[in-house]
Structure 1
Amino acid sequence: MSAYARKQSAKRWLDCALVNHAPRSRYRMYYWNLVNDIRSKSSLLAIPSGASPTDFTQLRTVICAIAKLTQHRKHWTNMPEFWSPKELGYRRQFRSLLRHLFERYPVPDFLANDWLEPCQSDWSRQLYLHMAQGFSIRQFSPRSAIPISPQTARWIMQVPPHLEPYPGIRWAQICGLGGTRELANCLAKNSILDYETSDEPFWESVLRFLIRNMPLCLDEVQEIVNFVNEQKFEAGEYAWGHGGGTSPLQPELTLKGRTLRSLRRHMANWRQDILKKRPELAKKSFDWPRSEFAPLVHHDGDAKWLIFELLSDRALKLEGNAMNHCVYDYVGECLERTSSIWSVRIQRSGTPKRMVTIEVDPKTRKIVQARGKCNSTPTLESKQVLRFWAEREGLTLTSV
């Protein structure tokens, strides 16, 4: 296809897209007037050079947004024919158009940018229009479940433009409570707090706890938030494993009166702490059939090496406690037979000593994990024995 033919094809696609998105209502005339003004004054609806119809995601986004703009014609404060853009780039030009049409007063960019999202909610659009008229976010109804204090409202204009509406309000809330921008970025983008929760007063207490104990590593911040959410709100089956039930393990969990040190201790020993309150969980037991692979007994001088499969949740729990890693979390995979867990031990005298825990994928016949104590790398001796066993059983090593 020649360059001229491609250009004509792209033009036909654009014309069809504009027709298909035109409002079928009294706003239709305003839509076409706005399209004509945009075409004459900016590159928002310009066809990219050398583009094919499959490359028009950006154009489709802009056209959908233009249709939404005309559906809110009654909120326009200026007519599009008086718009005079000076910016380059479709996002900056569209932001300039929004500012011209709607904003009597400044609105934060994170709300304005949401107009370009295909799944923009009516709530965020109405909030934008509310603030464009000069009203405070605290006067908006229906309000977000995230509490908007005067301090939160003061941070709204400083929310990073790339955030979506709910994460943006969470960001302002954290900064309003005294948190750093780094903490706000972390929790607003990479945690379950990127949206409204079912218990905002509780989560505000968690935020105050984190802010009070800063500086903390951001990885630990996320671990604390995930741990609290799992224990207080998620089904016990998710956190504990099979037998945990559908109710949360610690629905009464609170951080009031806790120190960071006591919380860290509880996060490290939460299974033992819960068993003291709910001893019936220890009575839950699951086992599963052996896999097709044979165990190993291998003599090397005065040392006897043992490799055998762990076939119950109790065996996984003991292995995890002794080796200080999370192998117990694989109970579900073992029950479904998508994973097979093995223990490598050495005996020179007395009781065999645990050296390595292995995960085998029964379908692909691969050893996908081999970890020593505290998830350390296996010793050279352990690796040699593991290779011997893998070769005998026709297994592939991928991580040793």
Structure 2
Amino acid sequence: MVQNLISNTSEYSIDSNRIEHSCPNCGHHELAVFYEVRDVPVHSCLMMSSQQQAVDFPCGDVVLGFCDRCGFITNTEFDPKWSAYAPNYEDQQSYSPTFNKFSLKLANHLIDKYDLHNKDIIEIGCSKGDFLLLLCELGNNRGVGIDPSVVPGRVESEAADRVTFIQDYYSEKHSEYVGDFICCRHTLEHIQPTSEFIKTVRKSIGDRDTVVVFEIPDNTRVLKEQAFEDIYYEHCSYFSPGTLARLFRDSGFEVTDLYCDYGDQYLLIEAKPVAMPSEKVHLFEESVENVAQDVELFKEKIAGKLDYWKKYLEDAQAKQEKVVVWGSGSKCVAFLTTLKTVDKIEYAVDINPHRHGKYIPGVGKEIMSPEFLKSYQPDKVIVMNAIYTEEISQMLNNMGVTTEVVAL
């Protein structure tokens, strides 16, 4: 449950609940705890083959601590022993036209900006390989993708024979794979020793001019909008533009660009290695004080946000309305387990066919295909990510499903 550390009054100070815990970004030995959610699944995207297996899935705690020295936020209760990423970790988003449009735009931007033609590209945390293969297709590049959950051959591509996939966690032993360009998308937020990780990447580059691009969720939006559905166990590291940029500078990089995209949900950093520490601060960076203000805003409003959605689901159940969640991934798991309202919905829907017939860890609901809704005819569809609302509404209309579509 959400603990009493969350306050609706401005009297609560960020200094009032300090704990001894080293900041993974800067090494400061004190963090201020400001948000707790107990007993949530330690993984959101590991697909379970039975309902019992899903219900019995291990749980842990989320206790977010803020570092007032660098602005970084981390789950102080995170235990790396649960980092069991494997081929049944299913986070592939390329079944969405909306997401594919963004990926194509990003790939073309990077290829044009860094002249990625006939180059060697490394992707750390490549998931099922969609983006790496796209970069290699569009620029006639060669690639190496490193990820414990990769499934070689899952994604068909004319560049497949130019790409090697390594089913492993990235570490110093992969330092030989550097190439001309390194990208890493939606991986750093899953890693708690952030400084150690970025320094490992920097060490592998040595004196080469390899450009790096990282993409992660933007924590500024999470705090300002109280997006509790984006706070879950395996996301142990939360970055704002400034905290991310400071980490890269401290690790031997110069930040060349810093920006948000995809409805301001994703934060991207482009950086190059430098021999001497960089003093260059990007205009998009905010101060530690700005992050502290966002933390205070989150504390002030989060209880109201949680109460709103809890009441929304309770009212729908009281009216015997059939409520479906669209999107069965991490946001869905966080939405239902944070609110403790797993019993308020019957089904979750997802367009990823590799999720169909599987069960959501910690939630126990079977994941259905969108076509299921033709017969089920729900009264409400709650969209876990608002950026897909138009896409989903069109799919529902094409299937002849008339329902209320509500986005988080």
TM-score (norm 2): 0.21
Q: Which has the higher strand share?
A: 2
Query: Which has the bigger relative contact order, CA under 8 A and spacing at least 6?
Result: 2
TM-score (norm 1): 0.21
Q: Which has the higher helix share?
A: 1
